[in-house]
């Protein structure tokens, strides 16, 4: 499959926009997680779930309206987006569990130049978010907000 120059440019711009939204989502998710986990003292999982849901809401609104510019069926898009989020979030949590429990990063010593308690949990959250972001972009690009080809329209 050969990609023409216009398609490559469009995908590049789309990735940049997705990155901007990703920075917003990461900020919302990390700050929320840090507030709940470190300041409030909630356990990792509920802090992670609430922070991730806040990022999910922000992500859907911006990705649908700005990155992928879909305007046809928001309920379908929301259902697919939610399914993709759940799939990618499950992958993130599996990686997080492996790092926290399997490699015992939950007992990681504090790193002097990182002013945070629960260093291991915060680092695992960042690693998990990278896994989530890459898999979620692929899911949304090729499933949720995929562009319909002429053959798709003619077949349906």
Domain ranges of the chain: 5-147
Mean of pLDDT over the chain: 84
User: What whole-number distance in Å separates Cα of residue 135 and Cα of residue 59?
Assistant: 14
Chain segment 91-128, per-residue pLDDT in tens: 999 999 999 898 888 876 766 666 667 778 878 888 99
- pLDDT reading at 42 higher than 90: yes
Residue pair 137/122 in contact by the 8 Å Cβ criterion: no
User: What whole-number distance in Å separates Cα of residue 81 and Cα of residue 141?
Assistant: 10
- pLDDT reading at 152 higher than 60: no
Q: Please work out, in degrees rounded to the nearest 5, the angle formed at the alpha carbon of residue 62 by the alpha carbons of 126 and 74.
A: 120
């Amino acid at each position: 499959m050969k990609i023409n120059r216009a398609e490559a440019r469009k995908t590049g711009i789309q990735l940049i926009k997705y990155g901007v939204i990703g920075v917003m989502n990461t900020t919302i998710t990390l700050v929320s997680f840090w507030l709940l986990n470190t300041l409030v003292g909630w356990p990792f999982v509920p802090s992670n779930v609430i922070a991730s849901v806040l990022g999910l809401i922000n992500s859907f609104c911006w990705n649908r309206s700005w990155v992928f510019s879909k305007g046809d069926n928001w309920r379908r898009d929301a259902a697919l987006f939610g399914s993709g989020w759940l799939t990618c979030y499950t992958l993130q949590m599996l990686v997080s569990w492996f790092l926290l429990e399997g490699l015992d990063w939950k007992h990681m010593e504090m790193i002097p130049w990182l002013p945070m308690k629960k260093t291991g949990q915060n680092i695992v959250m960042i690693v998990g978010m990278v896994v989530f972001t890459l898999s979620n972009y692929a899911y949304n690009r090729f499933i949720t907000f995929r562009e319909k080809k002429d053959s798709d329209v003619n077949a349906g």
